[in-house]
A and B are shown apart, each in its own frame.
Chain A
């Protein structure tokens, strides 16, 4: 069993839709949870960073962490074609750790 499981998709939705992306994990030592966005032929860029359980909102993006269920989510409201990318969840046991454990990535396409 992988430490982090993420539905690889692909996921295709119309512009303006609400998108929900999810990851589950098995290692209870994970305390820091991240979502990265990776455009084609580019490196991952940090989108959201949360600590422990709870919600964090940044513009159209909301990250949720439920440590009791070992489940994290990213919601994208009013999705735009520019949001089309691969979204990777990542986790670590330590703040600012270099060693992150990533999910497989979900390829998202927003159709105009």
Chain B
């Protein structure tokens, strides 16, 4: 049973460029969220996707956007990259919950490490 898979694992971009990161949730999961983990910090919630719509959003600017596809996979897009966007981007998924907030354990992928030069 494949867990949460993310691609690419590493990438380097320059300031001002745009990046797309991809995530496939764990089998049986339909809800995906994205987190940003700066070096030496804990993960910070970016947003959550369910039924192809953004359901919750953390304190991130509109440069961060996402998409969820009918097969539950998801993309994170970041426009106009800044040096401060350098981080590990984690995707997480969990199983359907009774009221969309009472889902099961959150499973994380291994992340995509973005370096902005």
Contacts and interface: CB of A to CB of B under 8 A. Distances in A.
B106 to A, nearest CB: 7
B44 A44 contact: no
B58 A44 contact: no
A96 B42 contact: no
Contacts of B56: 98-99
Among A44, A98, A100, find the residue whose CB has the most chain B CB atoms closer than 10 A: A98
Contacts, number: 69
Contacts of A36: 108
Interface residues of A, number: 25
Given A98-B48, A99-B58, A104 B105 contact: no
A49 B43 contact: no
Chief secondary structure at chain A's binding surface: loop
Contact of B42 (A41, A45, A46, A104): A104
A44 B48 CA distance: 17
A112 interface: no
Chief secondary structure at chain B's binding surface: loop
A7 to B, nearest CB: 12
B21 interface: no
Contacts of B33: 98-99
B2 interface: no
Contacts of A102: 42-44
Contacts of B73: none
A102 B36 CA distance: 11
Chain A to chain B: the 4 pairs with minimum beta-carbon distance, closest first: A102-B42, A96-B103, A43-B108, A94-B101
Interface of A: 4, 6, 8, 36, 41-46, 49, 88, 90, 94-105
21 contacts: A4-B42, A8-B40, A43-B109, A43-B111, A46-B107, A90-B42, A94-B101, A95-B101, A95-B103, A96-B105, A97-B103, A98-B33, A98-B92, A98-B103, A98-B106, A99-B33, A99-B45, A100-B45, A103-B42, A104-B40, A104-B41
